[in-house]
Amino acid sequence: MSRIAAFERAATRAAVAMAGALAALAMTVAAAPAAAAAQGFPRPEAPQSYADARLAIATGRYPEAIAFLEKMPRNDTSWFAAQADLARALALVSRYDDAERVARAAAGMPGGREALTALGEVLRTRGRLDSADSAFARAVRERASDSLMARVNLALLDQRRGRRARADSAFDRFIDVYNANAAALSSREMMAVAIAVRELGAGNPDLFRDALRAFDRAVAIDPANVDARIAIGELFLAKYNASEAQKTLDEVLGVNPSHPEALVAAARRAAFDGQPGADSSLAQALTVSPEYVPARVMVAQRLVDVERYDDAAREAERALKVDPSSAEALAVLATARFVAGDERGFNAARERALAINPRDAGFYVTLAEGAGRVRRYAVAADFARQAVAADSTNWKARSVLGMNLLRLGRIAEGKAALDASFKGDPYDVWVKNTLDLLDTFKNYDETRTPHALLMIEKTESPVLSIYLSDLAERAYTTFAQRYRYEPPPPIRIEVYRSHADFSVRTVGLAGLGALGVSFGTTLAFDSPAARDAGPFNWASTVWHELAHTFTLGATDHRVPRWLSEGLSVWEEHRARPGWGQSVSPEFLGAFQQGRLVPVSRMNDGFMRPAFPEQVILSYYQASLICDLIARDFGEQAIVALLGEYKAGRTTDEAFRAVLKESPAAFDKRFDAYVKSRFARALAALVSDGPEYPAGMLPDELAARADSMPGSWRTQMLAAEALTRARRPADAIRALERAHALFPEYGGAGSPAAALSGLYLQRGDTAKAMAMLGVVAQSDESAFEANMMLGRLALARRDTAAAVDAFERAVWINPFPADLHSTLATIAAARKDHARAIRERRALVALDPVDKAEALYQLAVAYRDGGDATAAKRAVLGALEEAPNFGKAQDLLLAIVEGGSP
């Protein structure tokens, strides 16, 4: 139970009342000018009173408010309060010199105590902590009307310098203030109480609820207290309630779309949810307040995330010019310097930060989070340990430590850190979800191979381990030879039947769009049975993620994200025909429109996409870059590039050293490569002709298709209309032209996909198989197309084509028993004993109704493959299931006697 006696326990947030107050405020701002205009009065552009000026500040009309407040006469009874508001308004738009000048002038006059807290706030913003301390202390001594806010600011300064016990003692006294005089507190005084209680929540998480109630009451007392409202949104976000944070911040920005703090909070909320909008919110904040430190810091953080370390350092340094004491800016600067390999710069930033607060756990948490976001997980864990050592009650430090230990495959240590974190901060939904997931690990089997540890749910492990064991070992051999690197075993591979579980394992929350992830020597991905993940090729996903293991490891996790992703897709293409992404009209369209990012900014395509499809297109673009490097410079150039990144080189430096050209020159090479490789398709996509009005008749579209044989889009539109009109012959003619224009495309909705069905309808098996082959080579998850191709091949007694098709199908969905039975039978007939044995093992693992027969067939496969020991073991298993099974008895006798039944 909280020590704050008077808070109403039955009450939740005063959301309805506050939303109404904000709505009324918004109506006052928006409707009054409209009403005045409707009555013929000129629209009031400038405040006419101090109250108008305060309203202008609350609604983001800062220039108007500043202009009025600067002209207020000194004999006005509100002049000192107005000067405090003027200083704060000037600071909001980064006019810090003016803000300090105004506050100092007012504070130096008789009666100037009302400007002291504002002066302290401006000085703190500029990093002049000792001077800020003096201003706040004087406000307390002289009993300024906002002395309570000055007191909480003094405690925050103590906290900022690492004087934790002293700060907590000061915060604790605010509870007594509230209990003694709650009804008489002003809005800003109530906000001071809320801030103090919020800070105490680090030691008692129940107090966060009380802090929220106090912020609510501050807003209820004064609906124009936007600062309190923003603090509510930030508190929700700090406690992982992004939806409530968004509602709160939307309400604030609906009234004041220009508040820098609210805009940065909105950017943080968007980034938290992985949604677009963070960059635009930051740009808005910096338009209003060009030197606003939190905005510059977040920009720097996001530049670190896309591995633009020099740019990130410049942004952090710009923030530090305003506030040399900014712990956040120093931490981001240190992160940028560290991950860029600038040891001297890192040490300098660390020394500056620790000189202010020798036990600044937050500094190390920022370092850990930044290192983790650029895939330096071992480094992140080390920094998180230093954060815990600096402050054992920093629960974020423990959670960051736990998450990174899990990424390193150190499950027991990671869980212990997360348990401790959740005990101190039970609001952390990422930690709770992860702990819940860890509790399910008892439902998984662990299977060891020479280089891997497979963790698969017990119901799926018997089947998946058959395929995954072989796949992992083949990948290990391939990549170790190619990249001249051998990761320390075992590589931990976790397979999740639920996509939500995989998502939690990856980011702590459900809803991740990816299907697999590599943390280096720890991999996690969806099971092929994770239907909520959608259809996908689970084997190519494994191959992709294992490639990351080697490219990350070979560079000490310094390879840029774009190159690691590009190499993984490139390796998929090399592993099996049909694996990995293929070219699409969307990709070529984006290329034609200049929407693909240049090599020098390829990470932006993954981390800061400019349009919804850009991430998926960037994977394919990056793979083409790798293909071009291998073609023009040899595969050894790729290995050499990785060596340059391991040495800490930038992309510009690495390209110049290995390829002997700049990224800008390579951009031109890549442009020419794409134009040459896809020349026919690009020309066909350009030749779209005029617009196609809705409602065009099939005959009109067919005529236009005949007159424009070089337009891919025209052929596809005509084919669609003709198919709907049940004119298959005419549709086929248009589709054949479209396929000839863009033969590489076989994805969903492609000419090849449509032609395969139409050819089948008219009984042209050979052409249908050809088109199904195009689909299978272009769409790695085309299970039904592969199954149909396999059946058609079998009907034509083309067992080689049938095996290829069914093999591709197995790597998409390994659970249909009839698929394994068919493939086993064909393999046996072709004397492909290894494949026949594998498929018979899979059938046994699927726990069929007639298990004795499945074991018998497995024994036959082993016998035919020359493994009498395994054959005997399998046939004995069959006889355990059915002791009177005659065929099994005969086979056992033959095995024992060394003959054949």
**3-class SS of residue 596:** coil
pLDDT in tens, 679-731: 999 999 986 656 676 778 899 999 999 999 999 999 999 999 999 999 999 99
Annotate 218-254 with b (16+ C-beta within 10 A) or e (fewer).
bbbbbbbbbbbbbbbbbbbbbbbbbebbbebbebbbe
Map 474-509 to HEC letters: HHHHHHHHHHCCCCCCCEEEEEECCHHHHHHHHHCC
pLDDT value, residue 89: 97
- C-alpha span between 228 and 225 (Å, rounded): 6
Q: Which residues contact 247 (CB under 8 A, 6 or more apart)?
A: none
DSSP state of 742: S
* Helix, strand, coil percentages for the chain (3-state, nearest 5): 70, 5, 25
Q: DSSP for 282-346?
A: HHHHHHH-TT-HHHHHHHHHHHHHTT-HHHHHHHHHHHHHH-TT-HHHHHHHHHHHHHTT-HHHH
- 304-319 pLDDT, tens digit per residue, is 998 999 999 999 999 9
Quote the pTM value.
0.89
Confidence tier at 85 by pLDDT (50, 70, 90): very high
Q: What is the pLDDT of residues 600-612, one digit of tens each?
A: 889 999 988 888 8
Res. 527: pLDDT tops 60: yes
| Torsion sign (Cα): 423, 427, 431, 436 | positive
For residue 12, pLDDT over 80 is answered with no
* Cα 634 to chain centroid, rounded: 33
Determine contact, residues 70/87, Cβ cutoff 8 Å. no
What pLDDT digit, counting tens, does each position of 540-568 carry? 999 999 999 999 999 999 999 999 999 99
The contacts of residue 594 (CB under 8 Å, 6+ apart) are none
In order of their start, the domains of the chain are: 18-255 (1.25.40.10), 428-554 (3.40.30.160), 557-678 (no CATH), 814-901 (1.25.40.10)
Instruction: Look up residue 610 and give its amino acid.
Output: A
Amino acid at 532: D
Gap between the Cα atoms of 504 and 498, Å rounded = 10
Report the SS3 class of residue 761.
Answer: helix
CA distance from start to end of the chain:
80
- Arithmetic mean of pLDDT over the chain: 92
- In order, the DSSP letters of 606-662 are HHS-SSTTHHHHHHHHHHHHHHHHHHHH-HHHHHHHHHHHHTT--HHHHHHHHTSS-
Residues of the chain with pLDDT > 90, as a percent, come to 87
pLDDT tens figures, 228-246: 999 999 999 999 999 999 9
Reported as a single tens digit per residue, the pLDDT across 336-365 is 999 999 999 999 999 999 999 999 999 999
When pLDDT is cut at 50, 70 and 90, the band that residue 29 belongs to is: very low
For 34-51, the DSSP string reads: HHHHHTTPPP--S--SHH
> For residues 535 and 680, what is the distance between their CA atoms, to the nearest angstrom?
31
Residue 634 has pLDDT above 80, yes or no: yes
| pLDDT tops 50 at residue 19 | no
Burial of 410 (0-12, 13-18, 19+ CB in 10 A): middle
Decide if pLDDT at 144 tops 60. yes
Residue 568 tokens read as 């993984």
Taking a C-beta distance cutoff of 8 angstroms, is the pair 113, 107 a contact?
A: yes
Separation between Cα atoms, residue 395 and residue 220, nearest integer Å: 32
Say how far residue 342 (Cα) sits from the centre of its chain: 27
d(CA 651, CA 642): 10
Instruction: Please check the confidence at residue 40 and state whether its pLDDT lies above 90.
Output: no
CB atoms near residue 428 (< 10 Å)? 23
